[in-house]
Structure 1
């Protein structure tokens, strides 16, 4: 039986996802349970399985950001009539004639021509409602972007998250504003073309983008084939490589879906947050004694202890447990601590929810289970969203100091470093103590230096005197 494949809702808060990396091509046989494509959200990359067997008859969205339950593809037997499942305006084409689809999907391209784009490209009328996705609105608030200034490239001119981010990046770099149709903007994003580089009177259309990209490609190919000459000497030299071989010394590997998500989020965080990193050393003697006392009944890690300590301190320093939306500070009454877990392909941050209400044993068990699920690629979106503060530990790698990057939309992250036996002066005598360096990165828009220092002092006090946690 024919099935319309839609973007699944992977969590209670998910409204959009970015479709990428189709594992099957149009016309391929698909078995139930086969991986069809990847979906990237703001926290995780998911592999989506086929729920039925058949032939992948149509791919409606090759890649791009769409809302949940948006039609993506049709799976059916080769002889089945699927016309009733296709969006209005979409046409059936043999696989050989498909070619490359736009990021918004074949259905949108078939339904909207360049003439229709003029209306979509126009801003909303004064007082009219601006068409924008929920994620785009949140991003606009975070980046301080006025939605009425953004041109939408989504269906019927709807503003997407990517539109907002491209506008913010253009404004940040001082790029000149260009008039470009929605379809042309999508084509430019797909081909890696900066519309500002296209010289054209009037609005840039899709064919302008394609012509520019083709010309650039020919120029790059000619440059690659031309020999490099030494300055002033006229001596031809081969491309850089091992001595005497003339071979290239680089290789290119596409980023995995997870790495692309990480790269995007880290860049966004650096662009958004004016951050400062604060370092403080603490004596771990008392924590080590506590761990030894508890080892008989449960294996407790320093990360477990610091989650419990940090949850207590965050209740006393609510600015460290807030987030920023536009010009507002959003204070969270609950403490949900994300614990970074390093995997072979990248980093994920599962969340210990309501850490301020849980005992050390409960925290330890939850951290262990979440880390195991992360390594098995079994985390759910719900287990990776809603964090209010993050802890990341590089102590096992011998790091003594680093500057962690804030996990948006949080305003702070605590880096845990190695415990190092260090000679210190105590009462006029030199003794060796196990010292750990903590590295707190905080968003200076919300957290001033004195507040950050006070928070670190409180963590130090709890760590060096764990009995204070009972008060």
Structure 2
């Protein structure tokens, strides 16, 4: 007997998913567990595997189509078997159905529109609203050529920005990009965000990275080291590992560090759970695996949820310092800049060493500046002191 493939529910808040790519076409044989379709939700892009072996008899949802959770998207059976009829699709607003923004030249002027008789006659014949045309004649008068250009633009499907500029290309926001946009605006509108920045001596950090890589013969990143140090330090700074619900500040028991990973379609933040209890080698292995899965669209919902603090490293793009935005419902995020060689003052001596900028954004509703500053100061002291850093990484 055949099997219906339904749009899965990959999270508590998921109501619909978008079909990104079918890995098989109608008539192909598929094996149970084989990649069937890539779908995109508000949080992740992931690959759905075939639930059974058989022939892909029917595909109900095309690539680019948004489908409600639980609706049939495909049917797998055997030759001669009759797939069910196409499901009734709810009315989903599409990019083409949405109203076009009004151009600045479409705003009606007070009084009669100034236009030549030939322009008026042609506009009347073609049903063109003269108030939507910008005149190029004397004193802004609309000429016949202006009306002809408007007709050509309509025929070409020409699009304009809200300020009247011609559009070369329209790129619809992906589901992930829309969710990032929504969450970032929500973050800035609902939190009192303040950012503290500090330049640190990164000599010990560079030395420790090389030492760990040599000892364990494995790739270690500066982010891996920061995940471990920050996670342990958060135990002594609970307000940075908390969430605000109503008028209650809830200190979270677990320390789960999110690592921002840049993808072509947007940013995603896989989470290393209980990072304060894991050795640096396990953190490095897990972070690399999560980053690979993110780039291959294979993360599952559990791997991108439950974070209590986030680290965003833009050092690989040669960024020195930036202002990170808190990932709701967390209360803080650490931005990490590049490590570069520069003059370093140690005591009364100047030498060439390594420096790095750290930027901590925190929610001022939950904590005051001195609380966040104390955390950043202690983090700096650990990273700059070889013995303290080695102790935190042990």
- Identify which of structures 1 and 2 has the higher relative contact order when contacts are C-alpha pairs closer than 8 Å and 6+ apart: 2
Q: Which residue of 1 aligns with 2:332?
A: 412
Give matches, 1:202-351, under 5 Å. Answer: 227-230=133-136, 232-234=139-141, 248=166, 250-298=168-216, 299-351=219-271
Conserved? CA contact 1:58–1:75, under 8 Å: no
Structure possessing the higher radius of gyration over alpha carbons: 2
Q: CA deviation at 1:189?
A: 11
Conserved? CA contact 1:274–1:444, under 8 Å: yes
Label 1:228 to 1:311 Cα distance change in 2 as closer, same or farther (>3 A): same
Give the whole-Å Cα distance in 1 for the aligned partners of 2:182 and 2:322.
Answer: 21
For residues 290-338 of structure 1, the C-alpha deviation after alignment (integer angstroms, 9 at most, x for no partner) is 2232232233221111111101211110111112233322211121111
Q: TM-score, normalised by structure 2?
A: 0.71
Q: CA deviation at 1:101?
A: 3.6
Give the whole-Å Cα distance in 1 for the aligned partners of 2:307 and 2:386.
Answer: 25
Q: Secondary structure at the match of 1:316?
A: coil
Label 1:451 to 1:54 Cα distance change in 2 as closer, same or farther (>3 A): same
Conserved? CA contact 2:224–2:283, under 8 Å: yes
Conserved? CA contact 2:46–2:298, under 8 Å: no
Q: CA deviation at 1:386?
A: 1.1
For residues 379-406 of structure 1, the C-alpha deviation after alignment (integer angstroms, 9 at most, x for no partner) is 2222211111111111111111111121
Q: CA deviation at 1:21?
A: 3.9
Label 1:382 to 1:287 Cα distance change in 2 as closer, same or farther (>3 A): same
Q: How many residues align?
A: 334
For residues 229-255 of structure 1, the C-alpha deviation after alignment (integer angstroms, 9 at most, x for no partner) is 2493326666899xxxxx955211223
Q: Secondary structure at the match of 2:306?
A: coil
Q: CA deviation at 1:413?
A: 1.0
Give the whole-Å Cα distance in 1 for the aligned partners of 2:255 and 2:271.
Answer: 10
Any unmatched runs of 5+ in structure 1?
A: 83-91, 104-186, 195-220, 242-246
Give the whole-Å Cα distance in 2 for the aligned partners of 1:302 and 1:2.
Answer: 50
Q: Which residue of 2 aligns with 1:102?
A: 91
Q: Secondary structure at the match of 2:139?
A: coil
Higher helix share: 1
Conserved? CA contact 1:340–1:393, under 8 Å: yes
Give the whole-Å Cα distance in 2 for the aligned partners of 1:57 and 1:293.
Answer: 55
Label 1:34 to 1:442 Cα distance change in 2 as closer, same or farther (>3 A): same
Conserved? CA contact 2:44–2:297, under 8 Å: no
Conserved? CA contact 2:323–2:359, under 8 Å: yes
Give the whole-Å Cα distance in 2 for the aligned partners of 1:31 and 1:461.
Answer: 60
Give the whole-Å Cα distance in 2 for the aligned partners of 1:342 and 1:54.
Answer: 37
Give the whole-Å Cα distance in 2 for the aligned partners of 1:403 and 1:224.
Answer: 47
Q: Which residue of 1 aligns with 2:41?
A: 40
Give the whole-Å Cα distance in 2 for the aligned partners of 1:366 and 1:327.
Answer: 36
Q: Which residue of 2 aligns with 1:80?
A: 82
Any unmatched runs of 5+ in structure 2?
A: 101-126, 159-164
- Worse overlay, 328-337 or 427-436: 427-436
Q: TM-score, normalised by structure 1?
A: 0.61
Q: Secondary structure at the match of 2:335?
A: strand
For residues 108-164 of structure 1, the C-alpha deviation after alignment (integer angstroms, 9 at most, x for no partner) is xxxxxxxxxxxxxxxxxxxxxxxxxxxxxxxxxxxxxxxxxxxxxxxxxxxxxxxxx
Label 1:248 to 1:460 Cα distance change in 2 as closer, same or farther (>3 A): same
Q: Which residue of 1 aligns with 2:5?
A: 5
Give the whole-Å Cα distance in 1 for the aligned partners of 2:298 and 2:179.
Answer: 17
Q: Which residue of 1 aligns with 2:14?
A: 16
Label 1:411 to 1:222 Cα distance change in 2 as closer, same or farther (>3 A): farther
Q: Secondary structure at the match of 2:215?
A: coil
Conserved? CA contact 1:337–1:391, under 8 Å: yes
Q: Secondary structure at the match of 2:195?
A: strand
